[in-house]
Amino acid sequence: MNLAAMKIKFHAEGVRKDKCHLGELYSKYDWSLPCFFLQDVPVIVRHGKWAELSPFEIREVNGGYAIFRDGEFFVDVFIPPKPRFLERKNSDGVPMYKIGELIFTGNFSLLVNQQCLFWKTGKQCCFCTVGNQGFLKTKTPEQIVEVVQAGLDEGVIKRVTMMTGYRPGADVGITAVSEAVKAVKERFDIPICADISPPRDERYLELLADAGVDSLEINIECFDFHVRARVLPGKSRMSIERYTRAWKKGVDLLGENRIVSIIMAGLGESNSSIFEGAEYIANLGVIPYLTPVHPASGSRIDGQSPPSAQRMTKLYREVAEIIKKYGLNPFKVRAGMIPSGGESALKEVMRFGI
């Protein structure tokens, strides 16, 4: 079984951590996600009821870590040590873990504004846990700069992802994100991704380009529009035309291999909707980043199972061919979910085959 196949299987069947504390990877040390490297391949497996009966379990072995299947050794894995800077407080006295989380691959991820209109109206995305997280509700550019400085000094931050909950107004929160991006870029030469909703007026994306953002994630998640209305009750009100205008504007501003849109499998959609959607955005110069849904604890779909390894293998192969067909290259994306890479096996399928 090659590394791509292993990663797909872990995503599909989960990894238990009954006898192993792994919270040191994240800002909330009791939020103990199984996250590890298979050689140089990152793997993130979200918590959820679906994983409680997984045959796979991660254990501490001789000072390191290994995965066991049904009690038998399966493969060695590597887990980086706990980042120290998150235990510190910033100059305002705020614990740095309240600003954002350090993904174990070196991606510092934060919501500039933690408050999402969809959570307030009960129309949050079915997989989202933003409303249950304990981070500072609003972060200033100065607070973000200070935390990034601390992580860079320790040598553990390699890139930054800045997001925002959906905000009312024409800019949907982009202005605040662009101000934070600009503040960090003025101090540090570090890749930054902005993960945003498509604004009503796509010219707001110029603020992010002017601030120096390296990549944009404008995530559609689902192209099956009957399913979309059910699983994304708030986001589904934004039309495909609105997304298309934002994708095109992003490519015009930043170029190919810098605009990404996540497509999720496992929301109830058809395979054909994934393939047709991937082809649609790849033709625009946008990378379709396929990932299985991870039914996380605290989300509306906790208890649901992810797609099977067999289905994901088929989907990855086809989407990888679509990406190649349009001359796109996810390995060139400098910031965001693609270089972080733990929640999808798309790059591994393109790298190792399956």
Locate the domains of the chain by residue range. 3-352
Please name the residue that has the structure tokens 């733990």.
342
| Of 335, 327, 340, 79, nearest in space to 214 by CA | 335
What's the confidence (pLDDT) of residue 21? Answer: 53
Residues of the chain with pLDDT under 70: 18-34, 117, 119, 131-132, 134
Q: Report the C-alpha gap between 347 and 351 in whole angstroms.
A: 6
Q: Report the C-alpha gap between 290 and 308 in whole angstroms.
A: 14
271-293: pLDDT as tens digits: 999 999 999 999 999 999 999 98
Q: Report the C-alpha gap between 35 and 82 in whole angstroms.
A: 12
Q: pTM for the whole thing?
A: 0.92
What's the confidence (pLDDT) of residue 103? Answer: 86
Q: Report the C-alpha gap between 176 and 140 in whole angstroms.
A: 9
- Among positive and negative, which fits the CA dihedral 295, 297, 302, 304? positive
Residues 6+ apart with CB under 8 A from 158: 105, 106, 107, 190, 191
What's the confidence (pLDDT) of residue 55? Answer: 95
What's the confidence (pLDDT) of residue 19? Answer: 60
What's the confidence (pLDDT) of residue 234? Answer: 79
What's the confidence (pLDDT) of residue 302? Answer: 77
As a whole number, the mean pLDDT across the chain is 89
60-88: pLDDT as tens digits: 888 888 999 999 999 999 988 778 898 89
What's the confidence (pLDDT) of residue 32? Answer: 44
Instruction: Determine contact, residues 159/217, Cβ cutoff 8 Å.
Output: no
Q: Which residues pair with 347 in a beta bridge?
A: none
One of 3.20.20.70, 3.40.50.920, 1.25.40.10, 3.40.50.720 is the CATH number of 3-352, namely 3.20.20.70
Q: Report the C-alpha gap between 155 and 81 in whole angstroms.
A: 12
Q: Report the C-alpha gap between 202 and 205 in whole angstroms.
A: 6
In three-state secondary structure terms, 154 is helix
**Percent of the chain scored above 90 by pLDDT?**
66
In three-state secondary structure terms, 294 is coil
Q: Which residues pair with 56 in a beta bridge?
A: 69
